Amino acid sequence: MRYVCVHGHFYQPPRENPFTGRVDPQPSAAPWPDWNHRITAECYRPNTRAPLLDEHGEIRGRINTFAHTSSDVGPTLMRWLERHAPDVHEAIVEADRQAIARLGHGSAIAQGFHHAILPLASERDRLREIAWGIRDFQGRFGRDPDAMWLPETAVDLDTLDALARAGIRWTILAPRQCAEVRSPGGGWQPFDSRRPYVVNTRQGRSIVVFFYDGPTSRGVAFDGLLHDGDHFAQVLAHASCDAGLAMVATDGESYGHHHRHGEMALAKLIEVLDHAPDVLLTNPSAYLVHHPATWEARIVEPSSWSCAHGVGRWSANCGCAMDPARSGQQAWRQTLRTAMDALRDAIGERDAASPDLERARLQMYTSCGWFFDGPDGLEAVQILTYALRAITLHRELSGEDLEPLFVERLGPLDDVWQTQVRTILGG
Ligand SMILES: [Zn+2]
């Protein structure tokens, strides 16, 4: 038997204005009021009821794709869905129950709470991001998570150790994050992504890592594999081998948002594989029951799936940019990281005195703030707004004003701070 798995990483950053608790209008998402509404209509809801068509193009059935795949839906997105699209939230939770009934193991896995880059976080923040992600999962799905998706698959050994310490059994990484592997008692050698591996931490703990299949995942994300669900099923089945597991892992938004009607290709794949005699579409927890990891892997650290320079995309002028013409113009990333870290250190453990301050302080590390090309984009301004919220709450609680320190560290980014962030407060 060959095994295959489709994993979707579903995520939207918190978009609420922290001073009003509401999402400000985002004209770029028109005709929807904001991007969360738009992507819900294009992807999240369609995947809970993805159509199967007959030869005349008529709908002959629907599939909740979440029940047949593996997925992590971020806590900030689940909280938004619960309020604004409760049918979608309920269908995702119900899908997990259906997977348990069919495979013995649920389809949902947890995610670091605020989508922070955990190798760049302080140890205290890292542990809180993991613990909050687990607690959110338990509250929604009514069970402990087996696994956690690391934001941007950003990893180092200390991050894996923190996951293991929290009771997390496995995670998913990109193939290029694997350095080498060895069989029990064997020598180090290049890896094969079709088996899970044990990674041992410096602190003596261990965790299982699945490395996804690179070519198939690229096919879904970038190379048009979702044009034809039959073909998608064949390619994925061929990527596996006897007793092996081939896993596709991409942003979940590939299925309907990045690729129009991608959810229909996924529904077709589910149907095709359901009838394939020698291929089983499963999830990693179910697979591990009869195929426990015995080989060991060493990871590349720090590393991530969307920066070829470790975790530079969120901390340095590493060369990564959306627009190639702007590559190398991202010195602001380090400036912003340094300023945030200075603010974090100045507040110290006093953020624990106020849940609102603690939340704002952690939200300011949402990874999207660093991902794009300039400090004046929607996402960077959003995390600066969280920093302003943290400064404001800290001032109210302690009387201490940390804005001068923060502005000094922002240096050239002070422009953005004054013109965009201050505008949000109307002054
Ligand atoms: Zn990079």
Three-state secondary structure of 76-143: HHHHHHHHHCHHHHHHHHHHHHHHHHHHCCCCECEECCCCECHHHCCHHHHHHHHHHHHHHHHHHHCC
**Residue 23: band (very low, low, confident or very high) from pLDDT cuts 50, 70, 90:** confident
23: DSSP letter: B
Other C-beta atoms lying within 10 Å of the C-beta of residue 187: 7
**Residue 423: band (very low, low, confident or very high) from pLDDT cuts 50, 70, 90:** confident
Query: In this structure, what token pair is assigned to residue 3?
Result: 């095994």
Rounded-to-integer distance, Cα 51 and Cα 344, Å? 48
What local confidence, expressed as pLDDT, does residue 425 receive?
63
412 CA → ligand 1 middle, Å: 22
> Higher pLDDT residue, 95 or 416?
95
What local confidence, expressed as pLDDT, does residue 426 receive?
59
328 CA → ligand 1 middle, Å: 10
Other C-beta atoms lying within 10 Å of the C-beta of residue 1: 12
Rounded-to-integer distance, Cα 34 and Cα 24, Å? 8
Neighbours of ion ligand 1 (CB under 5 A): 307, 309, 312-313, 318, 320
pTM of the model: 0.96
307 CA → ligand 1 middle, Å: 4
Residue 346 burial (10 A CB sphere; 0-12, 13-18, 19+): middle
- Give the tens place of pLDDT for each residue, 264-321: 999 999 999 999 999 999 999 999 999 999 999 999 999 999 999 999 999 999 999 9
Query: In this structure, what token pair is assigned to residue 303?
Result: 């590393």
SS3 245: strand
What local confidence, expressed as pLDDT, does residue 422 receive?
77
What local confidence, expressed as pLDDT, does residue 21 receive?
83
Q: Give me the mean pLDDT over the 151-170 stretch.
A: 98
What local confidence, expressed as pLDDT, does residue 146 receive?
98
118 CA → ligand 1 middle, Å: 16
325 CA → ligand 1 middle, Å: 15
- Give the tens place of pLDDT for each residue, 38-62: 999 999 999 999 999 999 999 999 9
363 CA → ligand 1 middle, Å: 22
223 CA → ligand 1 middle, Å: 22
- Give the tens place of pLDDT for each residue, 347-396: 999 999 999 999 999 999 999 999 999 999 889 999 999 999 999 999 99
222 CA → ligand 1 middle, Å: 19
319 CA → ligand 1 middle, Å: 5
Q: What are phi and psi of 406, to 5 degrees?
A: -65, -45
Kindly report the three-state secondary structure assignment for every residue of 177-214: HEEEEECCCCCCECCCCCCCEEEECCCCCEEEEEECCH
Please state, in angstroms and as integers, the Cα–Cα distance from residue 156 to each residue in 99, 117, 219, 317, 363, following that order.
31, 10, 27, 20, 21
373 CA → ligand 1 middle, Å: 12
SS3 288: helix
What is the set of domains in the chain, with CATH numbers? 2-299 (3.20.110.20), 321-424 (no CATH)
Residue 126 has pLDDT above 90, yes or no: yes
